[in-house]
Chain A
Amino acid sequence: MNIYSVAYKNLLRKKTRSALTAGGIALSAWVLVTLLGFNRGYEQSLNRDIDNMGFQVLLTAKGCPYEAATLMLKGGTGLRYIKEGMVKTVTAYPEVERVTPMLMQGVFDPNKGENGAVAAYLGVDALTFPPMKRYLEFKEGGWFKDNNAREAVLGYEAAELEQREIGDKLLIPGINAEVRVAGVLKRSGTQDDGTIFLPMGTVQTLFSKKGQLTALGIKVKKDTDMDAFENRLYDLPDVQVVSLAQVKTTIMGLLSSAKVIVLALALIAVIIAMAGVINTILMSVLERYGEIGIIKSMGAMPRDVFKMIWTETALLCSVGGLTGILLSLATARLSEAAIRRFLPYTPHGALVVLDGRIAGFAFLMILAAGLLSGLYPAWRASRVRPLEAMRAESD
């Protein structure tokens, strides 16, 4: 027998009270771990989404930069167009390594979802787009023959949704055009999974947008001064320049206020849990006043009693903290689904990323907060004078 087993058995004395307190600690640990995991996961996924764009700068027709950002990240439909001739102009810049034109078009598909939805088609250049997206691999088939082929390449999820395989026909609703599926991509974990790619010329013809583009993706050479380059691009008429760094900063900025609120909630949860710990341990000390007195008469030093009560606090916090961490691991996907419902934009990939460091940090935080809460009850117990304690219990 040691001081830990005595502390453990003391906690079992009032099982419901101990369980409720541990539950409160578990809840605060769950909030804390999930929040820390979200902080990491969101940023990682956003970075990956942006890296997987294949280009660092997006050039769109002049308009709202947030609309342009949405176009890039979520596949919205641009309402304004830039001239195709812009490709040559931009390619001529010495900082530019590669340029790829894009034309996004959307049509209402009554068969999509329960009440129909907009189906988006991304026209891309068969020559310049694939080299920018080297991470894309085909499950079957390959890219289009040429820019005017009546062909489509489906992202993994788009193929699943449309239930199409290579060689199948795909009807574009609204304009009643048919294209043949030339390739189906493997899952990439990016927005490309849900995209239907068509050759640039085909989209321009089918949607009567000859010579028009919605965006230019620009990959710049290494060591380019991005600010100077962006300023030079603004010399072009009627264009909006969106750098990926800008997009990331904007999104993270929008998210930071939400993070502050959630962090405050996590802090409140931890404070409530701490109050619960103080209450439980103090009650337990007062209920055992006489017993603590007899322990001191047996020869326990004040530090021994302090250690015993503090051990009870540490055990309670450890059980609660570990339960909360396991709970957050078990519910990470659920939390992620809930977050996706409430945030206007979420990147692809895992939003809540948990690892040993986060779990360890949260555990230490909870333990530290718990031990801090246990200071007063432990100090009070250590100050008990044997005789007074036994008298108090007799009374």
Chain B
Amino acid sequence: MTRLISAKGLTKVYRRGNEDVWAVNGVDLEVQAGEMLAITGPSGSGKTTLLNMLGCLDNPTEGRLNVNGKDVFGDQKEMAETALTRIRRQLFGYIFQKFYLVPTLTVLENVQLPLIFYKNRAARKTPESLLSQLGVGHRIDHLPSELSGGEMQRVAIARALINEPKILLADEPTGNLDTRRSGEIKDIMRSLAQGGIAVVMVTHNQEMAHAANRIVEIRDGKIY
């Protein structure tokens, strides 16, 4: 299996007043292609901070991060924002609990939006085919406000997948969904991993976590 993410001693320290808060403390983690990894743990344990660092959305205070063979952070050096953006758009897709769909754009336009900024020429799927595959092909002309929570999350997944990323990061992807919709999203995630994408998700949902190949539990910023 291809190693896509390798983190060593990844640490994030926030300064709160006069106090240092160790949100993530020396985490070592590897993620392989086609793996579905669930990060679980209590609220405030550092799950999301770890996910953001793995996804190059946040800089670690210490540690090394290698993504797809490239050193992103290490030896106190960090990549410039432009270089990080390049890595993000070529390798990552992100989905969030709050969906973050653009309310003035239709479903189809929301999925087309990343293509304005970057188009992976190797990508084979069109926005329409992706939306159909995710079961929202009949809603392409609708605005996000006209969709259910499950449909909105499917659109967000389609948007994250439009450039065929190697890694999909999901922060509480079922946090706003009922049990049935959560089950549907879980199935989608699993099929994506089976298709070769590395899926890393932060979740409180036990059913979702148990669908993963590997579960990592984090407490007080450390992996147990």
Binding between chains A and B: yes
What does DSSP make chain A's interface, helix, strand, loop or mixed? Answer: helix
- Answer whether residue A296 sits at the interface, using C-beta atoms and an 8 A cutoff: yes
Question: How many Å lie between the Cα of A293 and that of B52 in the bound state?
Answer: 13
- Answer whether residue B3 sits at the interface, using C-beta atoms and an 8 A cutoff: no
- Answer whether residue B85 sits at the interface, using C-beta atoms and an 8 A cutoff: yes
Tell me which residues across on chain A come within 8 A of B86, comparing CB atoms. Answer: 299
Tell me which residues across on chain B come within 8 A of A295, comparing CB atoms. Answer: 113, 117
Instruction: Please tell me if the beta carbons of B117 and A297 are within 8 angstroms of each other in the complex.
Output: no
Question: How many Å lie between the Cα of A12 and that of B117 in the bound state?
Answer: 22
Tell me which residues across on chain A come within 8 A of B206, comparing CB atoms. Answer: none
Instruction: Please tell me if the beta carbons of B94 and A297 are within 8 angstroms of each other in the complex.
Output: yes
Tell me which residues across on chain B come within 8 A of A1, comparing CB atoms. Answer: 105, 109, 112-113, 116
- Answer whether residue A163 sits at the interface, using C-beta atoms and an 8 A cutoff: no
Instruction: Please tell me if the beta carbons of A302 and B82 are within 8 angstroms of each other in the complex.
Output: yes
- Answer whether residue A283 sits at the interface, using C-beta atoms and an 8 A cutoff: no
Instruction: Please tell me if the beta carbons of B117 and A300 are within 8 angstroms of each other in the complex.
Output: yes
Instruction: Please tell me if the beta carbons of B116 and A2 are within 8 angstroms of each other in the complex.
Output: yes
Min CB distance A286 to B, Å, is: 16
- Contacting B100 at CB < 8 Å: which of A12, A294, A302? A294
Tell me which residues across on chain A come within 8 A of B102, comparing CB atoms. Answer: 6, 291
- B49-72, CB < 8 A from A: 52, 57-58
Residue of chain A at shortest CB distance from B89: A299
Question: How many Å lie between the Cα of A159 and that of B57 in the bound state?
Answer: 84
Instruction: Please tell me if the beta carbons of A301 and B85 are within 8 angstroms of each other in the complex.
Output: yes
- A169-184, CB < 8 A from B: none
- A329-381, CB < 8 A from B: none
Min CB distance A379 to B, Å, is: 14
- Answer whether residue B22 sits at the interface, using C-beta atoms and an 8 A cutoff: no
Instruction: Please tell me if the beta carbons of B113 and A6 are within 8 angstroms of each other in the complex.
Output: yes
- Answer whether residue B139 sits at the interface, using C-beta atoms and an 8 A cutoff: no
- Contacting A298 at CB < 8 Å: which of B81, B105, B109, B159? B159
Instruction: Please tell me if the beta carbons of B58 and A387 are within 8 angstroms of each other in the complex.
Output: yes
Tell me which residues across on chain B come within 8 A of A92, comparing CB atoms. Answer: none
- Answer whether residue B104 sits at the interface, using C-beta atoms and an 8 A cutoff: yes
* Given A1-B112, A386-B57, A387-B52, CB of A304 within 8 Å of CB of B117: yes
- Answer whether residue B219 sits at the interface, using C-beta atoms and an 8 A cutoff: no
Instruction: Please tell me if the beta carbons of A299 and B114 are within 8 angstroms of each other in the complex.
Output: yes
Instruction: Please tell me if the beta carbons of A299 and B104 are within 8 angstroms of each other in the complex.
Output: no
* Most B CB within 10 A of own CB, among A5, A9, A294: A294
Question: How many Å lie between the Cα of A386 and that of B55 in the bound state?
Answer: 11
- A286-324, CB < 8 A from B: 290-291, 293-302, 304
Min CB distance B141 to A, Å, is: 13
- Answer whether residue A10 sits at the interface, using C-beta atoms and an 8 A cutoff: yes
Tell me which residues across on chain A come within 8 A of B109, comparing CB atoms. Answer: 1, 5-6, 9
Instruction: Please tell me if the beta carbons of A10 and B104 are within 8 angstroms of each other in the complex.
Output: yes
Instruction: Please tell me if the beta carbons of B105 and A390 are within 8 angstroms of each other in the complex.
Output: no
* Most A CB within 10 A of own CB, among B105, B113, B117: B117
Residue of chain B at shortest CB distance from A12: B104
- Answer whether residue A3 sits at the interface, using C-beta atoms and an 8 A cutoff: yes
- Answer whether residue A13 sits at the interface, using C-beta atoms and an 8 A cutoff: yes
Contacts A/B (CB < 8 Å), 14 sampled: A6-B116, A290-B100, A297-B57, A298-B94, A298-B159, A299-B89, A299-B90, A299-B114, A300-B116, A301-B85, A302-B82, A304-B116, A385-B81, A387-B57
Nearest 10 pairs of A and B residues by beta carbon: A299-B89, A294-B100, A298-B114, A300-B117, A9-B104, A299-B118, A387-B57, A1-B112, A304-B117, A299-B117
